[in-house]
Amino acid sequence: MPTRLLLGTLTALILAGAVGTAFFYHRSEQHASRVATLERDLALARTEAAREHDRAEKLLAKANELDTHLGNAKTRTTATETKNSQLARELIATKSSLTEREQRQIALLAEIESLRQQIKTAEASTPTGIPASRVDLSGTTSETVTTTATASATVSAGPLPPSTAVVTHDAEPSTQAASTHSVDIAAYRERIGALEAQLTELLTRALSEPAPSAAPSSPAASEPTPTAQTAPPHQVVRVGAHDAFVVVDYGRDEGAAIGDELTLYRGTVVVARVQISDARPRFSIAQVLPAGLKRQLQPGDFVLIAK
């Protein structure tokens, strides 16, 4: 009996030990598998970390390169802005010079046309018989001298004949009037020649100067291309005395030609009809047509070109 009990106890202990050993062996295998899995995960994590580190270094290098490019772009932009500012100042100065030159050209054209009008007025006011009277008066004067010499030879002393005295007194005012008109017209023409020389010199200097270069556009600050707009209308820039003529900013460069007729408007009202008598590159002189003046002209009236 005791032997059986002892054998049963030993068998139970052996079975329990075997079960425990099997359990602990199974747990150790699970632990080893878990450790292997964790080691694989750790290796993958380290590989991914190394990969992310390399990517971060590449991104940092790219960021440094972009920062360098940005610094260079800022430097170029600053230089471009400085050059644009300088070109803008030069363009403003050039435009101011051109504006002053155009104003001087307009003034010269207006003065030339005024002098031409004065010449026409002076020639119209000159008596038509002055040239003939000059010839007659010269003949009469020679006859007077001959008569006076004959009278002196015949009579030692005595007054001139009344007819001779009359002819002499009649000749002097006419001769003085003719010479006065000749001097006035010659002065007008001399003044016109001087103004024409100034105008030619002004135009020659304007053509010889190089055109201002346009400011380069920055690619970073590109603007949309504006839509096409209609050209501004031409206008009257100077009005002559007594509304006899006008100077308009419409010249040969825009197609102006001598003989072209223009209509001047103020708003929607027709103020005059004019005809070009002198066409320059950028300006023209137009004479007001007879019965074409409707209202008093003024600078700023619009020009309608009808060919």
The pLDDT of residue 202 is 58
Spans of all domains in the chain? 1-105, 126-153+166-208, 233-305
Q: Is 256 helix (H, G, I), strand (E, B) or coil?
A: coil
Which residues have C-beta within 8 Å of that of residue 138, sequence separation ≥ 6? Answer: none
Distance between CA atoms of residues 4 and 9, nearest Å: 8
What tokens were used for 241? Answer: 């005395």
The pLDDT of residue 108 is 78
Q: Which residues of 122-143 are buried (b: 16+ CB within 10 A; e: fewer)?
A: beeebeeebeebeeebeebbee
Distance between CA atoms of residues 177 and 119, nearest Å: 15
If we measure between CA atoms, which residue out of 116, 156, 125, 123 comes closest to residue 287?
116
The pLDDT of residue 233 is 80
Q: Which fold has domain 233-305?
A: Thrombin, subunit H (2.40.10)
The pLDDT of residue 161 is 40
What tokens were used for 236? Answer: 């009257």
The pLDDT of residue 51 is 93
Strands (E), the chain: 234-239, 245-248, 261-266, 269-279, 284-293, 302-305
Distance between CA atoms of residues 103 and 93, nearest Å: 15
Q: What is the DSSP letter of 293?
A: E
Distance between CA atoms of residues 306 and 113, nearest Å: 23
The pLDDT of residue 66 is 93
What does the pLDDT profile of the chain (307 residues) look like in tens digits? 678 788 888 888 888 888 888 888 888 888 888 999 999 999 999 999 999 999 999 999 999 999 999 999 999 998 888 888 888 888 787 666 667 777 777 777 777 777 777 777 777 776 554 443 333 333 333 333 333 333 333 333 344 343 333 333 444 444 555 555 565 677 766 776 676 666 666 555 554 555 444 444 444 344 444 444 445 688 898 888 888 888 888 988 889 999 999 999 998 899 999 999 888 888 888 999 988 898 889 888 888 886 5
The pLDDT of residue 37 is 92
Distance between CA atoms of residues 273 and 302, nearest Å: 12
The pLDDT of residue 183 is 58
The pLDDT of residue 180 is 56
- Which long-range contacts does 54-61 make (Cβ < 8 Å, 24+ apart)? none
pTM: 0.42
